[in-house]
Structure 1
């Protein structure tokens, strides 16, 4: 059987081909799955998709009509998939429930340190042989407060690093993590965490209950000189409200690896095109903001684990097995 993989990055392609070798043939495409590209999957029983695939009811219906019966998504998040439509169409949906949490946690810290110590501005200056220190003053993080919204595996990994920095630890989650407790974390209401934290980081999944978790009111509750980092899902932050606060001169730094309207932009080269997204265009102009293209997970360790899990998901589907990765079982 040949599998069709959408949205495959150049670095990811050899890992996917190697992982499937000896099991199934795989055809890798760099285009992302959406309503325009869905017809390409005609004749493929199994396809694999990336995190930015558009898997609403319309796309799923096109895939089902073309013979697709199983979708193996190469990500943990699945907010882009209409699971009810998939079930109605008799399609099996699987994801990757776990991969290296350190990849995302370490990158969140990379963003935090980049904005705190103005690394991007400093690097740009030195390339022009401007070695002044004006405007590059940061802050020690030791003794300051880190607020972690979401203390699952990634939040725990972030907390371990914060503990190493010697920070006071505040947490917020529906379920408390005993490891974070042992590290000295105090669980508090979200409003208290936002008001007291010098560094706020988001590590919760995107679902209706967490859409715009950081809205205008939440942003106003934060310290004027706080650092905000999001390496989870773009929809957790109301970006329009964030731009308004940045225009008012608030926040020491904002590090974003995700953006709520990133589909159709992130992972693509748009350098020769006019960006029609006014909010994103405004966002990247602020000197205290660093935006990256959803790369927090992108380490050889994490991607390798994602690919291996994807292969297992396909093999389980073919064998009629069900694992914790299955979101919609085989009918």
Structure 2
């Protein structure tokens, strides 16, 4: 079977080539993202492998089907960028990686929170300039703080356990409460209560019609003044214009984001020599209490290994007429 990868980086090739030794697929890697502008590059491949910012809409899927593509494999957990109705209409099967080292994302979330709080990034730069002063570096104890977690799947659950270890009070909102987390001390409550009572709020829910802009002017207004907000899930969970106003008013004291709604134009690229015309991201960067990483939370050796192994196995299972394991199927 031939597979065409889009949005491929050197680390994708490293891990997929390693684990493809067990399958022998013919793999071609393209660095460009998939969209209407490039879909005709697909020639005789039976599968395409895409990532979070690839545009797999109805137009793209129609062309893929005409070119004989039978499988769309997402090497990520989310699939909101794929038109499933169009895939179903054209008989294309869709698979994903439902979970890959959830600890990787949970630990990065904690790293962002600690960096914002204790300002280690600023301290690092100061010391390199031989400035050993402490002015402006004061943080707060995490111990005893109330942490609100929106979404307690594998990643959210891992984050809850870490924060419990810090001695925090953890409140959570999820449509399906986790009994094991409850027994560990997590208190499930209404979304409104999580927003109102938390010192720190971390987003770990999927992006869908119900969660799009779950953080907006109205919900921000219910939060405690001085709240810390971390998002390592999907950029569309936050209305960026509203969060900028909240930063200006100091309602939100700390913002850490590893995802951004318009990230497909920016992330995974070196734009250090370019003029970026996205005024919104430039405004966010200008805040001293905002920390942005470029969709880095998943980026560990363990996670990349799991992504490659699960993706290739799912493609192989589908090609052999079998149903892949571990809930990787989105659409058969």
TM-score scaled by structure 1?
Answer: 0.96
Deviation at 1:34, TM superposition (A): 1.7
Deviation at 1:218, TM superposition (A): 1.2
Deviation at 1:66, TM superposition (A): 2.4
Partner Cα distance (2:180, 2:22) in 1 = 40
Task: Give the match for residue 298 of structure 1.
Answer: 299
Partner SS for 2:225:
coil
Deviation at 1:273, TM superposition (A): 2.0
Task: Give the match for residue 118 of structure 1.
Answer: 119
Partner Cα distance (1:88, 1:264) in 2 = 30
Deviation at 1:5, TM superposition (A): 1.2
Task: Give the match for residue 280 of structure 2.
Answer: 279
Task: Give the match for residue 166 of structure 1.
Answer: 167
Task: Give the match for residue 10 of structure 2.
Answer: 10
Partner Cα distance (2:247, 2:256) in 1 = 12
Partner Cα distance (2:77, 2:289) in 1 = 30
Partner SS for 1:93:
strand
Deviation at 1:2, TM superposition (A): 2.4
5 Å-filtered alignment, 1:1-331, equals 1-23=1-23, 24-323=25-324, 324-329=327-332
Partner Cα distance (1:172, 1:98) in 2 = 20
Deviation at 1:62, TM superposition (A): 2.3
Partner SS for 1:11:
helix
Partner SS for 2:171:
strand
Structure 1 residue ranges without an equivalent (≥5): none
Partner Cα distance (1:281, 1:56) in 2 = 29
Partner SS for 2:60:
helix
More divergent stretch after superposition (7-16 vs 254-263) = 7-16
More divergent stretch after superposition (21-30 vs 143-152) = 21-30
Partner Cα distance (1:275, 1:79) in 2 = 26
Cα shift readout 1:139-169 (whole Å, capped 9, x = no counterpart): 0010111111111111111011111100111
Partner Cα distance (1:22, 1:222) in 2 = 51
Partner Cα distance (2:194, 2:29) in 1 = 44
Deviation at 1:65, TM superposition (A): 2.4
Structure 2 residue ranges without an equivalent (≥5): none
Partner Cα distance (2:175, 2:211) in 1 = 12
- 8 A Cα contact 1:150 1:202, kept in partner: yes
Partner Cα distance (2:39, 2:120) in 1 = 41
Q: CA RMSD in A?
A: 1.3
Partner Cα distance (2:128, 2:221) in 1 = 36
Q: Number of matched residues?
A: 329
